[in-house]
Amino acid sequence: MKKIEAVVVPSRADAVRKELRRRGVCGELTLTEVLHGDTNKASVPAFDDSDGQLQERVKLELIVADRQVDKSVSLILRYALPESREPDGHVALLDVSEVLQIIHPASDISGSGKAALDITTPRKG
């Protein structure tokens, strides 16, 4: 399994989300508003954006099976393209060894009435 983290311009986040769902990419998607900037330029305080280094972006986080990684990244790169030619984000891939799902006690089928964790581990092959 891989965790895909993509930082994109806010105007493209909804298009990416809709296309991932339309193409059947399975997984839960988390969207977070972030500030994004070039680390190669002189640093400025986080709250002072007078020179435009930090810009509003949306970070998409998605955990997918290995077989869906190429498809997911291709869709993100295609639908996250900004209107300008400037680099406006990035995509990072991280290995995931297991995922722990938090389950409410009311949905516990064992009937114990206790909160449970559903551990998902990657399948081989």
pLDDT digits (tens, 9 = 90+) for 89-124: 899 999 999 988 888 777 655 555 555 556 666 655
Domains observed in the chain: 2-96 (3.30.70.120)
Q: What is the pLDDT of residues 15-64, one digit of tens each?
A: 999 999 999 987 789 999 998 876 665 545 555 545 557 889 999 999 99
Query: What pTM was estimated for this model as a whole?
Result: 0.73
Nearest-angstrom CA–CA distance, 72 and 62: 9
CA 115 vs. chain centroid, Å, equals 26
Residue with tokens 């998902």: 120
Give the per-residue pLDDT at 54. 84
Give the per-residue pLDDT at 48. 52
Give the per-residue pLDDT at 114. 54
